[in-house]
Structure 1
C-alpha cells in the first residue's frame, strides 16, 4: 500500500500520531558513518523512514536506504529501539516515531550524487565529529553507533 502515511495524513491532518520507522548506520572501512542531509530541514540524519503497510522493520530500512542513499544494504544488528521522541515537522505534522535502528552492511549500488526530494547530500562522518542532527532521536542513534564501536 504505497503512500500509506500520506493517506493517514489526509484523514488526520497535522494531528499527533505514532508512526513506526526504521533507519540504519552504514560504516565505511574507516569506521565513518554515512549520513543524509535532509531537504526538509537542511540538518543531518541517518537514512531511513516510515514503514509502509505490510512491511517489516528490516524491509523498511532496505527500501529507505535505496531511496535515500541509492545503495542496497542488509540489516545485521539492531542497535537501538527508540520511542521517546515527539517531533513536529516544518509542515506542521506531529509524530512520535517508534524507530528500529540497525547496523547495516553494504550489498550493492552507488551512492546518490544528485539531490532527490528527500536527500540534499550524503557524507561519511567521523564518529568524533557529529553534524547538527535533524532531531534528538538521530543524535541518540549516533551515540548508539559510538557505543557499538567502543564495544568492539
Structure 2
C-alpha cells in the first residue's frame, strides 16, 4: 500500500498519531555523520522516514535513505529502537514516532546535488558540532550512534 501516511492523514486529519519510522547512520572516514536538511521544517535529521504498510524497518531504512540522500545503502547493524518524542510539523500534524536506527554503509548511488521535495541539502557533521536538529529523538539517536561507534572502536 503505497503512500500509507497520506492515507492515514486523510482519515485522522492533524490528530496526534503514532507512526513507525526508520533511519540510518552513515559515517565518513573523518568520523562525521551524514544529515539531511529537511524541506518541511528547515532543520536537520538523519536520512529516513515512515514505513509503508507491509515494509520492515530495514526495508524502510534502505528505501528512505535513497530518497533522502541519493545513496544506496546496506544495513550493517541495528543500533536501537527509540520511542520517546513528538514531531510537530508546520502543517499541524503531530506524530509520536517509534524509530529503528541502523548503521549503514554506502553500496552505490551518489549524494543528491539538488534539492528534492524532502531534502534541501546534505552535509557531514562531527558528532560534537551538530546543526539544529528535528527533535529530541534525533538528538537521542545521534548520541546513541556516537556511543555505539565509540564502543566498536574501543574493542
| Fold match (TM-score > 0.5) | yes
Whether 1:83 and 2:83 are equivalent positions in the alignment is yes
In structure 1, runs of 5+ residues without a counterpart are none
Counterpart CA distance in 1 for 2:130 and 2:86 is 22
Whether 1:6 and 2:11 are equivalent positions in the alignment is no
Counterpart CA distance in 2 for 1:17 and 1:123 is 30
The equivalent residue for 2:60 is 60
TM-score (norm 2): 0.95
Contact 2:86 2:135 in 1 (8 A): no
TM-score (norm 1): 0.97
Whether 1:133 and 2:133 are equivalent positions in the alignment is yes
SS at match of 1:14: coil
1:70-106 CA distances to partner (integer Å, 9 max, x unpaired)? Answer: 0110111111211111222111111110000111011
Counterpart CA distance in 2 for 1:141 and 1:125 is 15
In structure 2, runs of 5+ residues without a counterpart are none
Stretches (4+) displaced over 2 A: none
Contact 2:38 2:119 in 1 (8 A): yes
